[in-house]
Amino acid sequence: MVFNTLAEALTIIQALESANTSICITDTDHKIIYESAKSGYKLNLSSDHLNKLDTGFYHSANAAFRVLLSDNSLTTITTIPVLIAGRPYSLEFKQLIRQNTYFSLESYHFENLSIHQIKEMAITDSLTKLYNRRYIDERLPIDIQSSFELARPLSILFIDIDYFKKINDQNGHAAGDQVLQKLALLLQKQLRRGSGWVARYGGDELLICLPGSGKKVARSIANRLREAIEHYPFYFKGKAINITCSIGVQTIFKDSGVVNIAELIAMADNNLYQAKNEGRNRVY
């Protein structure tokens, strides 16, 4: 991935930032050039350096990955060497993983896990085994950038189970959990290999990313998934549970004016609301 200016690079970098992911750029003397902040950012470059930034921003594949353990958290740190105007810098991604039952130090002996396993844990939802919100925050901006560089569209499907609270209230939360698990397997089976990826956004909301798919194709996939869910036999302790879903579809192009994933997801969420408002079990 190539950036022509620092401003362009920062646009992508800031899109990757989230509540649990911070980003820092340092020079060879470990001086902070850019650092994530809750409001705005810190940028320490001389005027002479700023004048040379349009010569390019490149990244290397020689990334380093390490893990920091404390009493209450696990933090993964990925460091990527980069060049800004011909000078070497380090781009560092820090991801905080709060301690819970899935990442409990009592449940896992991290020294026996490979780096690949720890990475997978960091981006996997413990209930559904789908990708999690952290993966969405990291991967979606990359797919957007890649699609735009290839002059291709990108579509997302925002899926919500209809009356999910009623399912929990009538059958218990264990039933709701099982529905989510079976739904996750169904979506992965229905989504053709290489066409996109599925993640759990939160609660009963799921997100599917379809790089390279335009609106017509995305709506066709959404309707196929909606019908598959409607006709799938969901059971809990021998009792049939009727499941339907509503899906909001949003397609963007390079000239759509969407600058970050929050804006894209908000647009898809608005379409999801319209689908529910029109009677649920619909694609909008």
- Residue 46 above 70 pLDDT? no
Are the beta carbons of 146 and 211 closer than 8 angstroms? Answer: yes
Q: Residue 204: what pLDDT?
A: 95
By the 10 Å C-beta count (0-12 exposed, 13-18 middle, 19+ buried), 74 is classed as buried
Catalytic site residue from 125, 143, 160, 204: 204
Between 87-96, 102-111, 140-149, 234-243, the lowest mean confidence (pLDDT) is in 102-111
What mean pLDDT comes out for the span 35-39? 59
Q: What is the DSSP letter of 55?
A: G
By the 10 Å C-beta count (0-12 exposed, 13-18 middle, 19+ buried), 106 is classed as exposed
Active site residue 269: no
Residue 233 in tokens: 């036999």
Domain 2-122 annotated CATH 3.30.43:
no
Q: Comparing 2-122 with 134-277, is the CATH topology the same? A: no
Residue 213: what are its φ and ψ, rounded to 5°?
-95, 130
Q: Residue 197: what pLDDT?
A: 96
Q: What's the rounded Cα separation, in Å, for the pair 31 and 44?
A: 9
What mean pLDDT comes out for the span 244-272? 95
Q: pLDDT above 70 covers what percent of the chain?
A: 71
pLDDT tens, position by position, 93-144:
777 665 443 444 444 554 555 556 667 778 889 899 999 998 998 899 999 9
What residue ranges do the domains of the chain occupy? Answer: 2-122, 134-277
Burial 164-189 (b: 16+ CB within 10 A, else e): beebbeebeeebbebbbebbbebbee
What mean pLDDT comes out for the span 37-58? 41
pLDDT band at 50 (very low <50, low <70, confident <90, very high): very low
Q: Residue 5: what pLDDT?
A: 59
Q: Residue 122: what pLDDT?
A: 80
Mean pLDDT of the chain: 80
pLDDT band at 10 (very low <50, low <70, confident <90, very high): low
> Highest mean pLDDT: which of 18-27, 46-55, 80-89, 252-261?
252-261
pLDDT band at 52 (very low <50, low <70, confident <90, very high): very low
Q: Residue 51: what pLDDT?
A: 39
251-257: long-range contacts, CB 8 A cutoff, minimum separation 24: 251/153, 251/154, 251/155, 251/213, 251/214, 251/215, 251/218, 252/144, 252/153, 252/154, 252/155, 253/148, 253/153, 254/147, 254/148, 254/151
Whether the model pTM is above 0.75: no
The CATH class, in words, for 134-277 is alpha beta
Q: What's the rounded Cα separation, in Å, for the pair 161 and 180?
A: 9
Q: Residue 29: what pLDDT?
A: 79
Between 34-43, 231-240, 245-254, the lowest mean confidence (pLDDT) is in 34-43
Task: Using DSSP bridges, classify how beta strands 197-202 and 87-98 pair: parallel, antiparallel or unpaired.
Answer: unpaired
Residue 245 parent element (H or E): strand 245-252
Residue with token string 């909301």 = 205
